[in-house]
A = this chain, B = another copy of it.
Amino acid sequence: MPSPADRLARLTRKPERALGTREEMNRLLDGQLVGTLATVVDGQPWVVPMLYGRDGDRILLHGSTGAGALRQVASGAPAAFCVTAVDGLVVAESTFESSANYRSVVIRGSLESVTGQTKSDVLQRITARIIAGRNDEVRPSTAKEESATIGLAMAITPDNWIMKQRSGDPGRPEGPVDVWCGVVPMTVTAGVPVAAPWSVGPVPPSVTNFVRAHPAP
């Protein structure tokens, strides 16, 4: 079962085989909610899932000023951010050849802390990416909220990311097969919104549009 790891690892051996355009990477990043942030703490790997938003050539993250481990990353430690979309299960004529259709990107660099006025700007931009239109439906952040948060940005440069992807049918075996082979499409799907008990008013456009943007496969 050749895995995404195999393909990413191969990049370190044959960089010219890297797949994926900047536009494809943007589409991947803009279609997912959560990535995995990795850094090194005391020589050990440290990894955490995070909500994020892409803003042009930046990955934006948002956290709490009380989160010590996040400060470690904010201080300029080397970091890697990984986003993966699983697009399908690849069911081949052997388990060895079976795999997943997927798209993944790893961006390497360091996170910069964003301070001052631009901090609420970071939250607004993340929100705009995750649930477009929501910023216009809600109150602005308070000064207290602002002071409790940390905004982080990682630059996307022409050469600090690698994207890999697989799509389509299982590889065709040399001989005939005697079993069903194919792909089961998969996607992250949104269901019917559930209002909180104290919610007021109808489901707003931001939520309706979010649901529409995450249909079943």
Interface set of A (CB-CB < 8 Å, partner B): 1-6, 8-10, 12-13, 33-34, 36-40, 43-51, 61-64, 66-70, 78-80, 82, 84, 86, 89, 91-96, 98-100, 102, 104, 106, 108, 123-124, 126-127, 130-131, 134-135, 137-139, 141-142, 145, 149, 169-170, 172-173, 176-204, 206-207, 210-211, 214, 216-217
Contact = CB atoms under 8 A, between A and B. Distances in A.
Contact of A207 (B9, B91, B176, B201): B91
A166 B60 CA distance: 22
Nearest to A135: B95
B47 A47 contact: yes
A3 B67 CA distance: 11
Nearest to A128: B95
Q: Chain A: interface secondary structure?
A: mixed
Contact of A182 (B43, B124, B199): B199
What are the 4 closest A-B residue pairs judged by CB atoms, nearest first?
A191-B217, A9-B67, A189-B189, A185-B191
B124 A5 contact: no
Contacts of A44: 40, 78, 80, 108
Contacts of A178: 200-201
Given A40-B40, A40-B43, A49 B5 contact: yes
A189 B146 CA distance: 36
16 contacts: A4-B48, A4-B50, A5-B63, A10-B67, A34-B102, A38-B46, A38-B47, A44-B78, A44-B80, A45-B46, A86-B188, A91-B206, A180-B204, A181-B196, A186-B188, A191-B217
